[in-house]
Structures are given as C-alpha cells and as structure tokens.
C-alpha cells in the first residue's frame, strides 16, 4: 500500500470515528468500508483497517496465539527422540557432523564435545504416534491436534539475533514483527482492544534472557501496528487507570468538555486530525473499561480456572497469560503473543528443564482444550517454539546425572495446532545426533510463509514500501510448507 | 500494490471532490521525465533492468540513457520496442511480466508512450546533479512576498490558481516560532512583550532572540540525536550501559555556537584526523561510535565487527547523503547507481578503527578517552586530543571452554571516539554481505561512488578527505539533504517527503527549485544553520495561518503545496517539556549524565535483568533530551508519541494519533503532576476571579486568550470538578499526591484538586498538543 492509499484509508477511518464521536453511532463502518474503494475484494464486514484485497484467499485461521519459549528449549529432551544415542554417551560428537565453526564462542574452546543423550523418557501419543517427552504429560494428550515440526532451522546462534529473526524475519533489528504485519494487512476485528497484544512471564528454572520492545514492534510500519504490551505486574496497560482520586464520572465530565473545546477548534481550523483525536480519546475511555473487564477472571467457571492450573490467578504467570490469551481471542484480538522466559539451559538441563515444563505444560494443554471446547480451535492458530534448539554435546561437564547444552540453530522443534495446521503428524527428520536436518527442513522464512498462508495471505504479496523498496516478512525467501496444512 | 497516481485518484474520488483535480496539470503538457517517467521505470523495471548487473535481464538497463535508447525510437512510439512490450497482448511478451508482481496501469503506459512520442528526453536522476541556484519566477501577488522562498512557493500556487492563507495571528506566531526554535512554549511575559512591540521588525527581533537562546541548541540537538542513534546503552541482548553524554553535550554546544554545518559534519566524521585536533573535535567523532555494540556471550567478534562498520556506512548514507546505500551491502543497488563494490569502498573509510566486534560487560568499548573532569568547561590547555589506550583483550572463562574474548571497559568518565590504525585493515567485498565470505580477489581502496563524484575528479583517500568531499559545494546531496530536514522539522513534511531517500525510489521534491535555492543559499551562507533557519521562519510561507478549508484539506491533506502554515502534533520531547514548562517545574540545567525521570514501575525488571533506579528531585524535571535512553526498552510514553527507537539512524517518524497517547496525557504521572503544578500557578498568579484564572491558564498552554464560548466551557468544567471534590477530601488528597513534589499546603484542598483536573484538561487540548 502506498502512503497515499494509506491516507485514503485514514480518512475513511476518520469519518467513522468522527461520526461515532459526535454521537451518530458506530454502525456506519461496515458500509463505509464497502464503498467502491474496496470493491476489489469483499472483506469480513466487521473488520477495521487492513489492506484492500487482503486476505488474498480464504483463510483457515482468523487469529494467532504464539507461545514463544524464550531461551531455546532443547529439542532432543522434548520432542526429537534419539533412542540410540544412549549407547553414545560420552563419546565425541564427530567433527564431520558438528564442525567447530558452527559452535558459539561460549563452548567452542571446550577440550571435548561429548554426546549427552537425553535423560528423559519418551513415548508415542495419538493416532499419529507423535513422540513426546515424559515431562510434557498434559500436552501429549493433545497429540492429535498437534502438528509437530522437528526440522526447523535458523541462521542465528545468539539470543538477540535469533529471537529477532523469529519475530521479524531478519537478524538485525528494524523490521516489523509478525503481529505488526498482520495488523497492517488484516486490520482489527474489534473496536475496544488493540489488535496485537504481547505478554511475558518469567520461568521458574532460572533467570531468563531479556526481551526487548522491538520483538513486538512495528519496525518501519506505521506505529499503530505495534503490539501493545500487557505488563506482567501493576497496570496491565500503561496508564490505563485514571489517577488516584479521579473517578469515572469525573473522567467523563473532563472528556465531554474536552471534546467540545476540541470541536470548537475543529470548526475554526478545519483540521480533520482533530476529529480523529476526539475519537481516540473516546476509544481510550472505552479501553479503560474493556481492559479491566478482560482481566477480570471472576466470570470464569471454577472448572476452567482449574484447567489452567494453580498459577492461573497470579498476574505475570504463564497460566494467567494463557487464560488471558483465550479471553483476548474471544474478544477479537488478532495476534496474541506470549513470551515465557527461562529455557536457556547451558547447564543442569536435568533439573531445570522439568521446571520450565511444569510452568507451561498444563496451561498450554488447557488452552488447546479450552479453545476446542468453545469451537475456536479451528480458526485459531497456536504456535509453540523458541528461537533455536540446543546442542547434543554437553556444554560443561557431562556426568551420569547432569549435562548442559549450548545454543543450536541448525535443527530444532516447533509445533502448531488448530487454525488449519494438520494435527497428529510429525514433519521433518534430523540426523542421528539431532545436529542437522536430514529431511524436509523448514527454514524460519518457510515457517513465516506457512503462518501467513494459514491466515489467507500470500507472503510474497504482503509488502510495504520503505527506503525505496518493497519489504515483506519473508524478505526475498520463504515457501509455504504444504504438508503441514490440514 | 497500488501506484501513487492511482492512489491520488482514489483519494479524490473517495472524497467526492466535484471540482476537477487541481493537482493534475493539463493532460497534454510535455511529460516530465524526472517527475513522471523515471519513478515508473524505477518501480516497475529497474529490478531486472537496472543497476544490479547480477540480476539484469536481456542485458538491458533502463536507468541509463544510452541503454534505454536501444529500445526506443524517440518520436516514434509505434516503432519503439519498449512501448511494444508494454502494450503486448501476449503475456509472454508483455512487460513487466506477470510473475514480477509489478504492474503498470493503462494511464501509466500511455504516459510512457506519450513521453516517447514527445522525443524521449532522458535525464539523469535529479538528486545526482549538483543544485543550481534557480532564477526567481515572476509572480502576480508581489505584496505577499517576503523573501525568495515565497517566490518559489507562490509561483507554484499561482499556477494552480490557489491563494496562500492569511498571516497567522501574532499569538499563534510567537508560539509556533518559539516551539520550532527552542522546543518550549513562550512565557506570558514574552508574549506580552511581543504583542506590545509594534516596530516593523518585532518578529525578526523575536526570531533573533530565540536563535540566541541556550534552549535553541537543546531543541535542535534532539532531532540530531535521533538521526545519530544516540543512546545510553549498547542495544543488544542485555543492553549494557555505555557513556556517550559528553558527545551529546558537544552537539548542543555546537548548535548554540552556530558551528557551520560543514564543520559540524567534518568534525563528527574525522575530528580526530584534523591537523592539531582539539579535544572537542575528537569528542565530536563519538558520532561514528553511537552504533549498537553486541556484547552477548557466545558472539563471534568478527561477525559483529562488520555490523559496527555497516552501521557507520548506512548512517552516512541516510543522515548525510539521503541515500539507501545499505541496499548495496549484499548486491549492487537495485535502483540507484551504487555497486556492491562502491559499498565496500565506503566501508573502507570506517574499517581502520582499533576496535573489537564484541563489547565488554557494561562500559564503553575501545577506543575511548578519559574526558577531563572539568567538562563541559574545559580549559584551553585541556582542549587537546588525547591518545586512547590500546585495545586489551581478555578471555575470562577459558577454562570453562568459553572462547569469547572481550575488550577492557571504559568507565563513566570516558567517551568512545574514532581513531585511525597505523596500518589500515584490508577491505574486500563481502559476498552476500557475510562477514566470513570476503572476495579476496581484489583488495579495495577507500572511495566514493563514481555516480556521485562526477563533478569532482579526485577520490578522497581517508575519513577526513571524505568529510571534505561531502561538504564540497559540488556535492549534489549534502546541502539538499540538510535543508530538507530543516524544512521537515518546521513544516512536518520535507520538500522531499522521503527525507531518508533522495534516490530513484524516493519521492520527487514538491518544490524542486525551492530545495535547490535553499541548498545553494545554505552553501553561500557558509553553511550557517541559524541563518538558514531564520530565512525559513522569516518567510511569508511560514507565517501563514494553518486554518484550512474543507476543500483544501481534501485536496492537499499533507500541505505539500504550502498554501497554509504548518499544524501538526508536537514530538514526545516537546509535549513533556511543555507540560513541565507551563507548570513551572522544568529544570534549566544543561548537559551532564542522562536523567532518570518517572517510568512505569519495574519498567526494566519486568522483561530484562536490569533495574531502573529512578532519580529524585531536579532530575525528574530535566528537559526530555536528557532522559536516559535504554535501547531495548525505550521510554514508553515517548515511544507512544513516535520518538525514534535509536536502534539505527532515522530521519523521520510518522505522526500517529492513538488512544494510548490519550491515556498518557490523561493518566501518566508526569502529566498529572504537571497538572497539579499548573493548577498552583493558575491559582497563585492567575488573578482573583475565576474568569481571570481560567484565561490565564488557557493562555499558558495556547498563548492566546480563550473565546467567550471556550471560556464558558472552561467554567462549566471547573464547576463539575469543584462539585466532585467538594466534601471529598479523600479523593482530593489522593489526586494531589500524584508525583513526588509536595503540594503547597496553603492552597485550599478542594480548589487545588478541581483546578488540577482543569489543568489536566488544558494539557490535553488539541491546540495544546499541536503546533498551530
């Protein structure tokens, strides 16, 4: 979309907001959105903003809940089962399989790179016989909804570039995040909440790797597409509550007078931006009601609260965020992203990994079940995964009881559920050591292309002109991985 | 993707504009290659028929006259292969091909055909031709003209039969100019003095006073800090602390001293290489060290060393040349005549710093110098270049198998600077931009792209000569890019809207001659920044009222024709500074370490491993350009108002209008506390009657008196707030405890609370948050 076209859409929105602000009601939107300007393609009637002609084809998923596991979960301890490595315990990982120049400088100076087979038991679940670790018992029950990918690979070996790559399709910061692209392309499905919400929680196992605002940023896209961060302590949305000593009635009185004064200014100057501002103050007022209502779990049944586990009422826990995610999804939020920190297990995997699984296993499984029982799993795409995997060789000392694992981008596991992803299957194979992709590799760009496809978007056609060229989430790469589609 | 012309049409038809399009000149006029044709070729054809040899198809390039003429018979469109292919029915023949995702509509194809029929006059891209001072066109409304800017604006308006707007009221003018030059609102005394001054040059005296104020340098520095990606942290992963505020102070001082722009640039690029360089000139080179530095454990130093240099080259491109040079890192530029080899020849200028690709755990990265304690008041004896300590690497955890080496860290009293190594590093083209894929077949010397060097024969051989080359009057871009950024700052949109890109894919200037006038005049004035600012602010164009008719706002929503004065929402920095200034809490302390004002609780700790420790007392009320800038978690209320994130060089951010902004201005501690003290001021200084007080308060934020209708609304709102806090001391107390500065207890509680809400309303007025 060109800036001029964007401007036309802004004017369109402005008319809508202008009318709603001056009391003529909000019903005009659908009809306004369906003027000739948008005759090219019929849109979801309830939608606000977005690009004409997008989605490019019928979407399987209307929204996404992305459960980001920050730090890099160990694929061979969770999903990528390597039973025969038990015999290789302590033997060197061959340099032909794992050359030195692909190791991080954190472990590259080790004298030895001994194989550390997983200490965890695995078993098969569901009709597809998907392998799961013993420390994800709740999740394993949903094997038939899960589309397991064991052959994801990335290009970055350190946290910052790797997580930035997953989130924006580029290693170096500056590009829009996935959620921002979707906001830009698909617009919003609700009036009172942002269309892209990010949340974070700290893991129980260890201090997590830091997160950065750019992970839910809009890059070079207009800033309105950036994710709104729901904070994990205190006010969920910055400045959402009125100051102490100001009640809703007083706020209303203030806004009514403000609107009238601004209206006088509009009549004098003719600047249409003033109408938008009046409307944005009204939207802010509505958000002040809708956000607390969203986070009020007292309306949830005991059964549904229990399903998410004991942490569900603790703000800033993964369980709390999972339930919030479901409530956001119900309210038409397009892209909901959770970040759970603490998966960066350079040492002591045996003790730390189960703690991370305990944080996340039950709530994740509950989210799948909850969406399913509400008939929302079919059009909600759930994505689970971190920024890279971990090494098969032990970082630090290998003992019978303990091992550490360094960063490993060349193969790792992610999964999807719902939203048009094929459940009950396992895609891709790694070599005997879980070091390289052996079959059906899925590059991050391919993953992005596939996610966009499920949302009805041709990844090559969702572009934005910046610095003289058309940018897209998948840069100049990416292919849709058809076998993953239901 | 829709093309601009289509979009304009859509916009017009959407707006149901009945009158004929005023923006479209007569259809049969001569087609302008630069304005009409080159953008179409660039967008739709250059990708396969442009500068990049690697992806060039059929050995045809349409970005040069010579090659284009091989597929064109000027004057004979029917026999021109280009036109045949554009209009071909057969999809295999037609250009652009179906799978290119490029598309020319009928109108655009006709335009190209018309251009060929008219003789196919092909010109070099305008921005690569040095500017020539234009002759001033004849205009009818001579009385309106105040200086050459107005000639060039008015002639275009008259050609479209549009009249300029009336001059703005003097109250609006003093507020506009004061904000534009100092970033602060005028005081009531300043307003009174200006209104009382009926001399002919009252406005000029105002401008001169503002240009001479200390606040001028602070405000002008703000946009340069964004361009220079200045910050207090390293920007990756744990986002370690760094200390660059001495460089920031240097920027403020230089702008206040009115250092000529050419010197300003040369010192920042190569102050360390100037003959008998001063310490200040060395400090200036901090500009080249403001880029992010990765210090994440596990990193490969060679990889991130490349990123440091890439950032310097990209910043040079965006900030100074207005070019997307960075596009040529991995391959030849797709649109502009910059090859990949050109890119790495520029890279060679910045590749000779004795630095290490990974940073220390907190602190400055070498090379750095110890800045004298007396800074910023250094003595002449101290103002001499300091030799930085050599790089020292340590390998902290080798026994644990960790292979990462880190450099020594510079403390709070140091500053990162540039230094040339005795033996320059070898520079090669990095294939696909990869640090570990140098093309060792050819060692590169430093050099500038030939396409930009046509008027200058000699290649600059080092950073210092590069600085001189950039500021040579024959350089086609430097002066244009600078004056365009000034224009953007004052009018909201640059003469070239894409202020970061003057290349083939950038937007054409709305007023090419105005741009060239300002650029050549700037050079004539010996790059005198204050003089060029004054010239713009003295113009009748700038002094117009910003009121707009419905017709003009639909026809020209962004005010590109300049038929009215600028009106747009102020920056994050100006909004906070205004609130502090009108509430009387703003500190006028300049320079020094960054301040840590109010932030949301646990702003850093919530998602990272660092803790924000908020300052107390005066540091809560410093001007916003001194606010501590953590790159990975920048101040959220500033980001809400489109501040640049300081990750990379940014010359413009768009102006959004969102509900989160409303929440900030209504509920954020900074703004509520400011409302409390604005209320105190109104009550203490505003007079005895309610009307006097409300008038005073209104004037503090808008610089003008309220109308009768406005006053009535202010009275009615104050009444409703008074009712609320009458007999409700509990709520009044709570409200008046927002922020750390204690209230004046002698003021009646109810009245103070009610006026605080009224003051908050004043701070939220559209007029308050806009430059009008």
Contact A467 B608 (CB under 8 A): no
Which residues in B lie closer than 8 A to residue A263 (C-beta atoms)?
Answer: none
Q: Which residue of B has its CA nearest to A286?
A: B659
B547 closest CB neighbour out of A228, A270, A460: A270
Picking from B635, B636, B625, the residue whose alpha carbon sits closest to that of residue B592 is B625
- Please give the mean pLDDT across all residues of chain B: 93
**What tokens appear for B271 in the block?**
């102050």
Q: Identify the three-state secondary structure at position B588.
A: coil
Q: Identify the three-state secondary structure at position B503.
A: coil
Establish, for the pair of chains A and B, how many residue pairs have beta carbons separated by less than 8 Å: 302
Q: Which residue has the higher pLDDT, B98 or B577?
A: B577
Note whether B378 and B413 are same-domain residues. yes
Rounded to 5 degrees, what are φ and ψ at B623? -60, 150
Distance from CA of B71 to the nearest CA of A (A): 25
Beta bridge partners of B271: none
Contact B546 A395 (CB under 8 A): no
Residue B22 has pLDDT above 80, yes or no: no
Contact A160 B294 (CB under 8 A): yes
Instruction: Tally the C-alpha atoms within 13 A of residue A145's C-alpha that lie toward its C-beta.
Output: 27
Q: What's the CA gap between B756 and A343, in Å, rounded?
A: 48
Which residues in B lie closer than 8 A to residue A2 (C-beta atoms)?
Answer: 1-4, 7
Contact A281 B662 (CB under 8 A): yes
Residue B535 lies in a domain: yes
Picking from B34, B150, B156, the residue whose alpha carbon sits closest to that of residue B560 is B156
Determine which helix (DSSP H) or strand (DSSP E) holds A176, and give its type and residue range: none
DSSP letter for A114, please. B
End of a domain among B462, B490, B511?
Answer: B462
Which residues in A lie closer than 8 A to residue B11 (C-beta atoms)?
Answer: 4-5, 7-8, 11
**pLDDT value of residue B455:** 64
Contact B237 A283 (CB under 8 A): no
Alpha carbon B415 to chain centroid, angstroms: 24
Q: What is the pLDDT of residues B45-54, one digit of tens each?
A: 998 999 888 8
Contact A212 B658 (CB under 8 A): no
Q: What's the CA gap between A335 and A162, in Å, rounded?
A: 21
Q: What's the CA gap between B660 and A329, in Å, rounded?
A: 21
Note whether B668 and B678 are same-domain residues. yes
Note whether B335 and B369 are same-domain residues. yes
Note whether B701 and B719 are same-domain residues. yes
Q: Which domains, and CATH codes, for chain A?
A: 60-236+311-484 (3.40.720.10)
Q: What's the CA gap between B353 and B347, in Å, rounded?
A: 12
Instruction: Tally the C-alpha atoms within 13 A of residue B646's C-alpha that lie toward its C-beta.
Output: 31
Chain A interface, mutation test: which of B657, B676, B711, B731, most A Cβ atoms within 10 Å? Answer: B657
**pLDDT value of residue A243:** 98
End of a domain among B407, B430, B462?
Answer: B462
Domain extent for B173: 168-212
Note whether B664 and B705 are same-domain residues. yes
The mean pLDDT value for B752-757 works out to 98
Q: What is the pLDDT of residues B475-524, one digit of tens each?
A: 999 999 999 999 999 999 999 999 999 999 999 999 999 999 999 999 99
Q: Which residue of B has its CA nearest to A317?
A: B606
**What tokens appear for B382 in the block?**
């101290």
Query: Residue A172 CB: number of other CB atoms within 10 A?
Result: 18
State whether residue B296 sits within 8 Å of chain A by CB: yes
Note whether B135 and B189 are same-domain residues. no
Q: What's the CA gap between A49 and A140, in Å, rounded?
A: 39
**pLDDT value of residue B101:** 78
Chain A interface, mutation test: which of B666, B738, B757, most A Cβ atoms within 10 Å? Answer: B666
State whether residue B546 sits within 8 Å of chain A by CB: yes
Contact A419, A453 (CB under 8 A): no
Instruction: Tally the C-alpha atoms within 13 A of residue A294's C-alpha that lie toward its C-beta.
Output: 28
Secondary structure percentages of chain B, helix, strand, coil, to 5? 50, 5, 50
As for the ipTM of the complex, it is: 0.91
Band the pLDDT of B456: cuts 50, 70, 90. low
Q: What is the pLDDT of residues B657-701, one digit of tens each?
A: 889 999 999 999 999 999 999 999 999 999 999 999 999 999 999
Contact B659 A284 (CB under 8 A): yes
Q: What's the CA gap between B535 and A354, in Å, rounded?
A: 69
The mean pLDDT value for B737-762 works out to 97
Q: What's the CA gap between B478 and B472, in Å, rounded?
A: 9
Q: Which residue of A has its CA nearest to B605?
A: A210
Which residues in B lie closer than 8 A to residue A240 (C-beta atoms)?
Answer: 663, 667
Q: What's the CA gap between B610 and A178, in Å, rounded?
A: 27
What separation in angstroms does the CA of B436 have from each of B301, B433, B684?
11, 9, 68
Distance from CA of A199 to the nearest CA of B (A): 10
Distance from CA of B372 to the nearest CA of A (A): 35
Residue B17 lies in a domain: no
Q: CB within 8 A of B723, min separation 6: which ones?
A: none
DSSP letter for A27, please. T
Which residues in A lie closer than 8 A to residue B303 (C-beta atoms)?
Answer: none
State whether residue B15 sits within 8 Å of chain A by CB: yes
Picking from B224, B226, B130, the residue whose alpha carbon sits closest to that of residue B469 is B130
**pLDDT value of residue B28:** 56
**pLDDT value of residue A32:** 31
Q: Which residue has the higher pLDDT, B6 or B468?
A: B468
B713 closest CB neighbour out of A2, A243, A257: A257
Q: What's the CA gap between B467 and B350, in Å, rounded?
A: 12
Note whether B644 and B756 are same-domain residues. yes
The mean pLDDT value for B530-542 works out to 98
Task: Annotate B379-410 with DSSP letters as a single string.
Answer: -TTT-S--PPPPP-EE-TTGGGT----EEPPB
The torsion region of residue A62 among left (phi > 0), alpha (psi -120 to 50) and beta comes to alpha
Distance from CA of B302 to the nearest CA of A (A): 12
Q: Which residue has the tokens 């057969």?
A: B90
Distance from CA of B258 to the nearest CA of A (A): 31
| Cβ neighbourhood burial of B136 (10 Å; 0-12, 13-18, 19+) | middle
Task: Annotate B165-228 with DSSP letters as a single string.
Answer: PPBPPHHHHHHHHHHHHHSSPPPHHHHHHHHH--STTHHHHHHHHHHTSHHHHHHHHHHHHHHT
Residue B187 lies in a domain: yes
State whether residue B21 sits within 8 Å of chain A by CB: no
Contact A407 B601 (CB under 8 A): no
Residue B324 lies in a domain: yes
Contact A339, A209 (CB under 8 A): no
B657 closest CB neighbour out of A158, A160, A280: A280
Chain A interface, mutation test: which of B544, B602, B607, B704, most A Cβ atoms within 10 Å? Answer: B607
Number of domains in chain B: 5
Q: Which residue has the higher pLDDT, A206 or B155?
A: B155
Contact A312, A305 (CB under 8 A): yes
Q: Which residue has the tokens 């110890």?
A: B370
Task: Annotate B73-138 with DSSP letters as a single string.
Answer: -TT-GGG-HHHHHHH-SSTTT-SS-GGGT----HHHHHHHHHHHHTT------GGGSPP-PPPPPP
Residue B762 lies in a domain: yes
Residue B7 lies in a domain: no
**What tokens appear for B151 in the block?**
């000639």
Note whether B92 and B149 are same-domain residues. no
Q: Please, what is the Cα angle at B555 between B549 and B557, to 5 degrees?
A: 80
Q: What's the CA gap between B51 and B62, in Å, rounded?
A: 9
Window 575-604 of B: residues touching A by CB (8 A cutoff) are 600-602
Which residues in A lie closer than 8 A to residue B239 (C-beta atoms)?
Answer: 210, 212
Contact A270 B550 (CB under 8 A): yes
Q: Please, what is the Cα angle at B78 between B74 and B83, to 5 degrees?
A: 80
State whether residue B721 sits within 8 Å of chain A by CB: yes
Determine which helix (DSSP H) or strand (DSSP E) holds B314, and give its type and residue range: helix B301-315
Note whether B423 and B366 are same-domain residues. yes
Note whether B441 and B517 are same-domain residues. no
Distance from CA of B101 to the nearest CA of A (A): 8
Q: What is the pLDDT of residues B403-452, one digit of tens each?
A: 899 999 999 999 999 999 999 999 999 999 999 999 999 999 999 998 88
**pLDDT value of residue A470:** 87
Contact A212 B239 (CB under 8 A): yes
Q: What's the CA gap between B423 and A437, in Å, rounded?
A: 44
Note whether B522 and B668 are same-domain residues. no
Residue B363 lies in a domain: yes
Alpha carbon B49 to chain centroid, angstroms: 33
Rounded to 5 degrees, what are φ and ψ at A266? -60, -45
Beta strands per DSSP E along A110-257? 122-125, 130-133, 146-153, 196-201, 228-230
Q: Identify the three-state secondary structure at position A152.
A: strand
A238 closest CB neighbour out of B400, B548, B663: B663
Contact A468 B505 (CB under 8 A): yes
State whether residue B722 sits within 8 Å of chain A by CB: no
Which residues in A lie closer than 8 A to residue B709 (C-beta atoms)?
Answer: 264
Residue B15 has pLDDT above 80, yes or no: no
**What tokens appear for A357 in the block?**
């699984």
Band the pLDDT of B103: cuts 50, 70, 90. confident
State whether residue B330 sits within 8 Å of chain A by CB: no
Task: Annotate A46-90 with DSSP letters as a single string.
Answer: T-BS--TT-SSS--S-SEEEEEEETT---HHHHTS--GGGGGGTT
Contact A284 B660 (CB under 8 A): yes
B600 closest CB neighbour out of A223, A234, A407: A234
Q: Identify the three-state secondary structure at position B139.
A: coil
Contact A168, A175 (CB under 8 A): yes
Window 370-399 of B: residues touching A by CB (8 A cutoff) are 398
Residue B471 lies in a domain: no
State whether residue B732 sits within 8 Å of chain A by CB: yes
Task: Annotate A301-352 with DSSP letters as a single string.
Answer: -HHHHHHT-TTTTSTTSHHHHHHHHHHHHHTT-SEEEEEE-----SS-HHHH
State the Rg of chain B over Cα: 28
Contact B713 A232 (CB under 8 A): no
Which residues in B lie closer than 8 A to residue A465 (C-beta atoms)?
Answer: 1, 505
Query: Beta strand A407-408 with A429-430: parallel, antiparallel or unpaired?
Result: unpaired
Chain B interface, mutation test: which of A243, A265, A471, most B Cβ atoms within 10 Å? Answer: A243
Mean pLDDT per 10-residue section of chain A, whose length is 486 residues: 41 33 30 32 64 96 98 98 96 94 89 96 97 98 98 95 97 93 95 92 91 93 89 90 97 98 96 93 94 94 96 96 98 97 96 97 98 97 98 96 96 98 98 97 98 98 88 95 97
Q: Which residue of A has its CA nearest to B318?
A: A467
End of a domain among B568, B599, B627?
Answer: B568
Which residues in A lie closer than 8 A to residue B15 (C-beta atoms)?
Answer: 11
Note whether B448 and B512 are same-domain residues. no
Residue B77 has pLDDT above 50, yes or no: yes
**What tokens appear for A28 in the block?**
């005009």
Beta bridge partners of A125: A130
State whether residue B297 sits within 8 Å of chain A by CB: yes
Determine which helix (DSSP H) or strand (DSSP E) holds B569, and give its type and residue range: strand B568-569
**pLDDT value of residue A172:** 86
């Amino acid at each position: 979309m060109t800036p001029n076209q964007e401007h036309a859409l802004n004017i369109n929105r402005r008319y809508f907001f202008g009318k709603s602000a001056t009391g003529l009601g909000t019903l005009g939107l659908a009809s306004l959105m369906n003027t000739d300007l948008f005759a090219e393609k019929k849109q979801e009637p309830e939608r606000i903003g977005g690009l004409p002609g997008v989605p490019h084809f019928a979407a399987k998923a209307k929204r996404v809940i992305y459960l980001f596991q920050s730090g890099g979960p160990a694929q061979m301890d969770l999903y990528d089962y390597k039973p025969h490595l038990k015999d290789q315990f302590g033997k060197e990982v061959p340099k032909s399989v794992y050359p030195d120049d692909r190791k991080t400088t954190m472990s590259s100076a080790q004298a030895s790179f001994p194989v550390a087979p997983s200490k965890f038991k695995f078993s098969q679940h569901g009709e597809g016989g998907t392998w799961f670790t013993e420390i994800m018992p709740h999740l394993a029950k949903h094997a038939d909804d899960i589309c397991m990918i064991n052959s994801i690979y990335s290009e970055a070996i350190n946290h910052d570039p790797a997580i930035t790559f997953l989130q924006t399709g580029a290693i170096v910061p500056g590009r829009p995040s996935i959620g921002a692209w979707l906001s830009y392309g698909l617009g919003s499905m609700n009036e009172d909440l942002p269309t892209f919400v990010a949340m974070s929680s700290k893991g129980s196992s260890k201090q997590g790797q830091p997160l950065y605002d750019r992970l839910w940023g809009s890059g070079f896209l207009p800033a309105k597409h950036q994710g709104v961060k729901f904070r994990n302590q205190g006010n969920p949305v910055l400045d959402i509550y009125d100051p102490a000593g100001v009640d809703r009635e007083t706020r209303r009185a203030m806004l009514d007078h403000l609107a009238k004064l601004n209206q006088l200014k509009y009549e004098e100057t003719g600047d249409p931006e003033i109408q938008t501002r009046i409307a944005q103050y009204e939207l802010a007022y509505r958000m002040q009601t809708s956000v607390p209502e969203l986070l009020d779990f007292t309306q949830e049944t005991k059964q549904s609260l229990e399903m998410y586990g004991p942490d569900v009422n603790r703000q800033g826990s993964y369980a709390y965020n999972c339930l919030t995610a479901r409530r956001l999804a119900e309210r038409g939020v397009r892209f909901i992203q959770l970040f759970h920190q603490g998966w960066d297990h350079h040492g002591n995997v045996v003790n730390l990994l189960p703690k991370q699984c305990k944080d996340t296993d039950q709530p994740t499984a509950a989210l799948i079940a909850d969406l399913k029982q509400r008939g929302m799993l079919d059009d909600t795409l759930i994505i689970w995964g971190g920024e890279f995997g971990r090494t098969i060789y032990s970082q630090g000392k290998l003992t019978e009881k303990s091992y550490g694992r360094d960063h490993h981008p060349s193969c790792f596991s992610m999964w999807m559920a719902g939203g048009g992803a094929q459940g009950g299957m396992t895609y891709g194979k790694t070599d005997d050591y879980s070091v390289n992709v052996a079959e059906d590799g899925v590059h991050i760009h391919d993953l992005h292309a596939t996610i966009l496809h499920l949302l009805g978007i041709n990844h090559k056609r969702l572009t934005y002109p910046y610095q003289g060229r058309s940018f897209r989430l998948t840069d100049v790469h990416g292919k849709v991985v058809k076998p993953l589609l239901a | 993707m829709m093309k601009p012309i289509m979009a304009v049409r859509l916009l017009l038809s959407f707006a149901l504009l009945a009158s004929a399009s005023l923006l479209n000149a007569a259809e049969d006029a001569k087609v302008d290659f630069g304005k009409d044709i080159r953008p179409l070729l660039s967008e739709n054809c250059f990708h396969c028929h442009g500068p990049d040899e690697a992806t060039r198809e059929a050995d045809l390039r349409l970005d040069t006259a010579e090659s284009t003429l091989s597929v064109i018979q000027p004057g004979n469109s029917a026999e021109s292969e280009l036109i045949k292919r554009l209009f071909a029915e057969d999809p295999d023949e037609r250009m652009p091909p179906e799978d290119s995702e490029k598309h020319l509509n009928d109108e655009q194809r006709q335009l190209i055909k018309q251009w060929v029929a008219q003789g196919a006059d092909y010109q070099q891209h305008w921005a690569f031709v040095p500017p020539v001072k234009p002759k001033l066109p004849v205009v009818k409304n001579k009385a309106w003209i105040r200086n050459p800017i107005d000639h060039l604006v008015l002639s275009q308006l008259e050609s479209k039969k549009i009249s300029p707007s009336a001059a703005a009221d003097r109250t609006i003018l003093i507020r506009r100019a004061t904000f534009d030059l100092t970033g602060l609102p005028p005081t009531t005394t300043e307003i009174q003095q200006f209104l009382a001054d009926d001399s002919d040059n009252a406005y000029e005296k105002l401008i001169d006073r503002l240009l001479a104020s200390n606040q001028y340098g602070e405000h002008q520095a703000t946009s340069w800090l964004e361009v220079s990606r200045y910050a207090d942290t390293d920007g990756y992963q744990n986002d370690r602390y760094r200390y660059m505020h001495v460089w920031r102070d240097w920027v403020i001082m230089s702008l206040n001293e009115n250092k000529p722009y050419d010197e300003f640039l040369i010192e920042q690029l190569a102050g360390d290489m100037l003959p008998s360089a001063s310490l200040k000139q060395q400090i200036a080179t901090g500009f080249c060290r403001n880029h992010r530095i990765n210090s994440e454990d596990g990193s490969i130093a060679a990889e991130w060393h490349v990123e440091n240099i890439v950032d310097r080259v990209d910043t040079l491109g965006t900030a100074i040349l207005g070019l997307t040079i960075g596009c040529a890192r991995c391959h030849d530029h797709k649109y502009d005549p910059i090859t990949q080899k050109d890119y790495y020849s520029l890279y060679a200028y910045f590749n000779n710093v004795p630095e290490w690709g990974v940073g220390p755990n907190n602190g400055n990265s070498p090379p750095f110098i110890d800045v004298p304690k007396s800074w910023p008041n250094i003595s002449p004896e101290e103002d001499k270049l300091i030799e930085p300590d050599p790089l020292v690497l340590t390998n902290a955890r080798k026994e644990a198998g960790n292979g990462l080496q880190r450099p020594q860290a510079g403390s709070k009293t140091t500053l990162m600077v540039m230094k040339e190594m005795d033996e320059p590093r070898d520079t090669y083209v990095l294939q696909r931009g990869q640090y570990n894929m140098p093309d060792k077949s050819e060692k590169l010397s430093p050099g500038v792209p030939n396409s930009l060097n046509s008027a200058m024969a000699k290649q600059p051989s080092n950073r210092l000569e590069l600085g001189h080359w950039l500021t040579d009057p024959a350089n086609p871009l430097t002066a244009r890019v600078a004056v365009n950024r000034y224009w953007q700052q004052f009018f909201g949109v640059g003469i070239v809207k894409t202020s970061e890109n003057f290349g083939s894919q950038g937007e054409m200037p709305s007023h090419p001659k105005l741009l060239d006038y300002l650029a050549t005049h700037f050079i004539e004035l010996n790059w005198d920044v204050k003089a060029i600012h004054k010239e713009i602010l003295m113009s009748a164009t700038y002094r117009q009222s910003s009121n707009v008719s419905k017709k003009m706002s639909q026809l020209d929503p962004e005010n590109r024709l300049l038929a009215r004065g600028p009106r747009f929402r102020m920056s994050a920095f100006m909004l906070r500074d205004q609130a502090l200034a009108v509430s009387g809490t703003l500190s006028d302390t300049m320079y020094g370490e960054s301040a840590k004002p109010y932030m949301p609780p646990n702003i850093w700790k919530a998602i990272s491993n660092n803790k924000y420790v908020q300052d107390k007392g005066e540091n809560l009320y410093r001007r916003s350009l001194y606010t501590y800038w953590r790159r990975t978690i920048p101040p959220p209320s500033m980001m809400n108002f489109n501040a640049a994130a300081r990750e990379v060089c940014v010359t413009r951010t768009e102006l959004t209008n969102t509900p989160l902004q409303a929440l900030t201005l209504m509920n954020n501690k900074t703004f509520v506390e400011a409302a409390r003290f604005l209320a105190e001021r109104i009550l203490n200084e505003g007079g005895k009657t309610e009307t006097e007080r409300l008038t005073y308060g209104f004037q503090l934020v808008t610089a003008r008196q309220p109308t009768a209708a406005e006053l009535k609304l202010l009275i009615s709102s104050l009444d409703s707030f008074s009712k609320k806090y009458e007999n409700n001391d509990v709520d009044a107390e709570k409200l008046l405890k927002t922020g750390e500065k204690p209230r004046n207890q002698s003021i009646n509680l109810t009245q103070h609370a009610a006026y605080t809400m009224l003051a908050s309303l004043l701070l939220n007025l559209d007029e308050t948050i806009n430059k009008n």
